[in-house]
Amino acid sequence: MSEEIVKLIKLQDIDMDLDRLKEECESIPAEIENYRTKIDEDKNKFEENKKQTKELQLRRKEKDLELETKESEIRKHKVELNMVKTNEQYQALLKEITKAEEEKDVLENEVLVLMDNIETHSSEINKVEKTLQSEEKEINEIIRQLENKKAELEKKIQDLELERGKFASNIQAKYLKKYEHIRLGTEGVAIAPVENNSCGNCRLRLPPQVINEVTKEEDLVYCDNCSRILYLENTNKIVLRTNKKSTDKKEKNEESLPQFIGGEESPNSQT
């Protein structure tokens, strides 16, 4: 019986490790997506900037054209001055010329402002383009590393799942079934130690009768409150020590396997 509990505790350690690895692995795609979004956003900003510059250049062309029209209008009026017959006509034409020249001044100012704007935008574009290139390179490298990490984690998960399968096949079906059932309905923890006469998972104070049953180790005992399988930690320390020996052969997987309580190699551990 306690032998089975020991196995369940180890199975839970493996499962918790698996949960951690899976959680880490599953978080990577979102992380990669965040980096991609960042690059996309910066690229969009850059494109938007380029678009604005093009619009400014277009407006400048229009203003240049308006300016040319205005200048030729003024020249035409000046020629006309020599041909007018009356003073009235002459004065009217002079007024026209003054008005056109004022408008020309306004246009020239507008062109100057536009030129200034275009210059600022262009230098900004050059700067952003350079930053964007190095940023993209950097982010692509980060993404590459994250993808590698994901592949490594997937391999680790695969190995540990294999190990878990092998290990679980040595547990009595009835206990394994109960363990799996509890784990499904809980947050991954199916088995909890009795600590200070309380459930190590939900901290509920356990009645002496329950502790007594746990001590007897005749059958599985559950916490009334959180339904976890209860066990006595002291007993486990002893059994886990002997249990450690039997897994020592699997040297390759030793690193990924959970550490046992007091699981240091000791020359006496076989007795």
Residue numbers 185-214 binding Zn ion by CB under 5 A: 199, 201-202, 204
160 vs 191, which CB is nearer to Zn ion?
Answer: 191
> Smallest distance from the beta carbon of 256 to Zn ion, in angstroms?
29
122 vs 198, which CB is nearer to Zn ion?
Answer: 198
Q: How many residues bind Zn ion (CB under 5 A)?
A: 7
Which of 253, 234, 262 has the alpha carbon at shortest distance from 17?
Answer: 253
Cα–Cα distance, 132 to 49 (Å, whole number): 13
Q: Rule CB under 5 A: is residue 12 a binding residue for Zn ion?
A: no
- For Zn ion, what does the binding mask look like between residues 61 and 100, x meaning CB under 5 A? ----------------------------------------
> Smallest distance from the beta carbon of 228 to Zn ion, in angstroms?
5
Interface with Zn ion (CB under 5 A), residue from 115, 226, 232, 257 = 226
Report the length, in residues, of the chain: 271
111 vs 202, which CB is nearer to Zn ion?
Answer: 202
> Smallest distance from the beta carbon of 245 to Zn ion, in angstroms?
31
- Applying CB under 5 A, the span of 41-49, 69-77, 143-151, 217-225 interacting with Zn ion comes to 217-225
Which amino acid is present at 99? K
Tokens 């619009």 belong to residue: 55
- Applying CB under 5 A, the span of 74-82, 162-170, 219-227, 259-267 interacting with Zn ion comes to 219-227
> Smallest distance from the beta carbon of 158 to Zn ion, in angstroms?
33
Answer for the pair 121, 48: CB distance below 8 angstroms, yes or no: no
Cα–Cα distance, 134 to 116 (Å, whole number): 28
> Smallest distance from the beta carbon of 198 to Zn ion, in angstroms?
8
> Smallest distance from the beta carbon of 208 to Zn ion, in angstroms?
16
229 vs 240, which CB is nearer to Zn ion?
Answer: 229
Answer for the pair 238, 269: CB distance below 8 angstroms, yes or no: no
3-state secondary structure 160-227: HHHHHHHHHCCCCHHHHHHHHHHHHHCCCCCEEEEECCEECCCCCECCHHHHHHHHHCCCCCECCCCC
Residue numbers 94-133 binding Zn ion by CB under 5 A: none
Q: Which helix (H) or strand (E) holds 134?
A: helix 87-168
Residues in Cβ contact with 205 at an 8 Å cutoff, skipping those fewer than 6 apart: 197, 198
Cα–Cα distance, 244 to 247 (Å, whole number): 6
Rg (CA), the chain: 41
Q: Which helix (H) or strand (E) holds 254?
A: none
26 vs 224, which CB is nearer to Zn ion?
Answer: 224
97 vs 223, which CB is nearer to Zn ion?
Answer: 223
Interface with Zn ion (CB under 5 A), residue from 225, 234, 253, 266 = 225
Chain residues that interact with Zn ion, rule: CB under 5 A = 199, 201-202, 204, 223, 225-226
